[in-house]
C-alpha cells in the first residue's frame, strides 16, 4: 500500500507526559499537513510543510506542540506536557502540486 501511513494508530498517555507521532506521506509528495479532529467535529488544520519548510501554523498549535519534517520526507508531531484537552485524532495528509490532499488513517490520542 502506498498511501499515507501514521504511527502509532493509538496512543494512551498520562497527563503531563510527552508524545510523538510519525507520518509517512506518499512518496514524492512535497506537501504535508497535520490536522486534529475531536469527536463530532470536522478536522482542524494545525500546520503545513512544503518539503522541509514549515509554511503555515494555526493558532491552535500552542507552544507545547512542535512539528518537524527534517529531510522533506516523513514528519513528526510532538506534544509536550499533554493535557486532557489534547485527546483527539491526529490526522496527516500529503499532496503533490495539486488541490487534492491524501489523508492517513490518523493516530488516536487519549490523555488520562
Q: Does 106 bind other proteins (CB under 8 A)?
A: yes
Q: Does 44 bind other proteins (CB under 8 A)?
A: yes
Closest CA to 67 of 31, 33, 110: 33
Q: Do residues 54 and 61 make contact, with C-beta atoms less than 8 angstroms apart?
A: no
Binding residue for other proteins, selected from 19, 25, 43, 75, defined by CB under 8 A: 43
**Interaction pattern, residues 59-88, with other proteins; x per rule: CB under 8 A:** ------------------------------
The minimum distance between CB 48 and other proteins, in angstroms, equals 5
Torsion sign over Cα 27, 34, 52, 50:
positive
Q: Does 39 bind other proteins (CB under 8 A)?
A: no
In whole angstroms, what is the distance from residue 59 CA to residue 45 CA? 10
Binding residue for other proteins, selected from 11, 48, 82, 88, defined by CB under 8 A: 48
Torsion sign over Cα 36, 37, 41, 42:
positive
Q: Do residues 10 and 106 make contact, with C-beta atoms less than 8 angstroms apart?
A: no
Give residues in contact with other proteins (CB under 8 A).
Answer: 4, 31, 33, 35, 40-48, 50, 56, 58, 91, 93, 95-106
Amino acid at each position: 500500500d502506498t498511501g499515507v501511513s501514521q504511527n502509532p494508530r493509538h496512543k494512551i498517555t498520562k497527563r503531563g507526559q510527552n508524545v510523538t507521532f510519525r507520518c509517512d506521506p506518499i512518496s514524492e509528495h512535497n506537501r504535508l499537513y497535520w490536522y486534529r479532529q475531536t469527536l463530532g467535529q470536522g478536522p482542524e488544520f494545525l500546520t503545513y510543510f512544503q518539503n522541509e519548510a514549515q509554511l503555515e501554523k494555526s493558532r491552535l498549535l500552542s507552544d507545547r506542540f512542535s512539528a518537524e519534517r527534517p529531510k522533506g520526507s516523513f514528519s513528526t508531531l510532538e506534544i509536550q506536557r499533554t493535557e486532557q484537552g489534547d485527546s483527539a485524532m491526529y490526522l496527516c495528509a500529503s499532496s503533490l502540486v495539486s488541490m487534492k490532499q491524501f489523508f492517513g488513517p490518523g493516530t488516536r490520542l487519549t490523555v488520562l
